[in-house]
Amino acid sequence: MTMTTIHDFIKVLNDLICEIFPNTEIIGISGSDYIKDCIFELREDNKRLQYSPYSLFNMSENYEETIEAFLLQWENYRTKNNNVM
């Protein structure tokens, strides 16, 4: 998986979310002309998780590991009881 730009990173992340979690919606809740200002939210049933793809990309030393960790975070959160994260 080669990711050289933020756009590649977001495409890979979104594709994996859609593939692994087909019932999860990806909603843009804050947008701008600048990707660094965009905030997205994952939604499934009554679970919601907001994130900044730019922050994930920018703080990452290894993009694949960052994506795997984020997907695991969502998996753990969405399968928990109705506790607030």
Per-residue pLDDT reduced to its tens digit, 49-76: 999 999 999 999 999 999 999 999 999 9
Taking alpha carbons only, the member of 39, 44, 7 closest to residue 22 is 44
User: Would you kindly state where each structural domain of the chain is located, as residue ranges?
Assistant: 6-79
Kindly report, residue by residue over 8-41, the tens digit of the pLDDT. Answer: 999 999 999 999 999 999 999 998 778 888 999 9
How would residue 2 be classed by pLDDT, with cut points 50, 70 and 90?
Answer: low
Please calculate the CA angle 66-6-85 and round it to the nearest 5 degrees. Answer: 45
CA contacts within 13 A on the Cβ side of 3: 19
Task: Please tell me the pTM assigned to this model.
Answer: 0.84
